[in-house]
Amino acid sequence: MKKGKKVAIIGAGNVGATVAYALAMNGVCHEIVLRDRNTEIAKGKALDMSQAANAARQHTIVSVAEDASGLAGSDVVVITAGSPRLPGMSRDDLLMINAEITKEVVRDVKEHAPDSIIIMVSNPLDVMTYVALKESGFPKERVIGMAGILDSARMAHFIHEKLGYGAGQIRASVMGGHGDDMVPLPKFSTVAGVPLTDVLDEEEILEIVERTKHGGAEIVGYLKTGSAYYAPAKSTAIMVEAILKDTKQIHPCAVFLDGHYGHSDVVSGVPVALGANGVEKLFEMTLNEKQKRKFAASVDSVRGMINVLKEKNFFN
């Protein structure tokens, strides 16, 4: 009989390791297993985190899976593995490289943790979630991409910066793909329950929306040699916690659309309730014509990348 909840994290770089640390600190699971190409670095991080968990008086143990069999028994598998875009590399080059990495990793998950829920964090996020779904053969409810919580958090922070008050009371909503094509929804965003449109004018909201779209690039501009990881990791940990605690909390996540919002055979970010079965319910919000057009454009952008993979017979 299983003693407690187990989370596997594939890719122990900045994002993966910070997800593990966040989960170890809140004690939401009994066991965290890191799997990475560099086993020695993963071992060092796991040992450090296990000691931190003891300092925090948590029961979580962090260890390393030296081979894929260490994934066995995982309730949730977080996949952050992937290559960054290197100089001279086209978007399509990066797409193929990360699709191949995702395919390889998901085969291991399918073999050793067939009952797990997969949370994709690797970029390009929506397409990698589609690849993981097709490669695993898992039900669509059990393959979920992390993007909307991060984008919503970025938008909420920019709203706070603009207002100067309301920290922790701002609820921002976004839909669509992760990146330039995301669709922030000011209509569904509030400050302590007050609609955003009541506290900011249209020009200010537009400025926030544009900054949200490029929120990741802004951080890359400061860091120079890397990208954001604290907010992506915390956003991922929130999803893991909702699943393990079966909270049924509603979060925007990248999921497979099967006729939802008029789109099929594609992955995009929409509000869903997360629980023990993964996606417990998918919500279809009422969008105005402008929002529908923006969402359709976002979906088409993801579909274009999926079609690149299909043209190369990637799914055969």
Active site residues: 178
Q: ∠ at Cα 226 (16, 93), nearest 5°?
A: 85
Q: Are strands 264-275 and 278-282 parallel, antiparallel or unpaired?
A: antiparallel
Nearest-angstrom CA–CA distance, 215 and 222: 11
Backbone angles phi, psi at 311, to 5 degrees: -65, -30
Longest Cα–Cα distance in the chain:
58
| CA–CA dist 102, 129 (Å, integer) | 9
The closest alpha carbon to 103, from 70, 71, 129, 77, belongs to 129
SS3 281: strand
**The two structure tokens encoding residue 7:** 């989370």
Cβ-contact 268, 292 below 8 angstroms: no
124: CB partners within 8 A, 6+ apart? 94, 95, 98, 178, 179, 302, 305
